[in-house]
Amino acid sequence: MTAYLYLATAIVAEVFATSFLKYTAQFTRPLPTLLTFGGYGVAFFFLSLTLRVMPTGVAYAIWSGAGIVLISAINWIWLKQRLDAPALAGMALIVLGVAVINLFSRTTGH
């Protein structure tokens, strides 16, 4: 269970960092740049803790799937970037894939 807490922390930190990436203006704005680098640093640290017990491929599948969906939701809500039906269907498949990994795979470390 600790691996999932570490992975969730890594995912939230990565989503935080990615959310600020646009505002760095190619890393010319100090505060957004610091928040972006800090968020990625926290994300990779907690991902490294996750990888002590969870295979890299499984952890990365969960990380990337959750990140895609969360970043898309944030952009949809705060930046008004609309998602069409194929984008929503694709994200639903990603969520389904992550669920299958977590519910049925014996390689997740739990």
pLDDT of 90 higher than 70? yes
Q: Which residue has the higher pLDDT, 91 or 12?
A: 12
pLDDT at 15: 96
Mean pLDDT score of the chain = 91
Q: How are the residues of the chain apportioned to helix, strand and coil, as percentages rounded to the nearest 5?
A: 80, 0, 20
CB atoms within 10 A of CB 14: 23
Mean pLDDT score, 67-81: 89
Q: What is the mean pLDDT of residues 28-55?
A: 96
Query: How many domains are contained in the chain?
Result: 1
Instruction: Output the pTM of the full model.
Output: 0.84
Average pLDDT over residues 56-81: 89
What domain range is 19 assigned to? 2-108
Mean pLDDT of 86-105: 88
| Low-confidence winner among 23-27, 51-55, 103-107 (lowest mean pLDDT) | 103-107
Buried b (16+ CB within 10 A) or exposed e, 67-76: bbbbebeebe
pLDDT for 109 equals 56
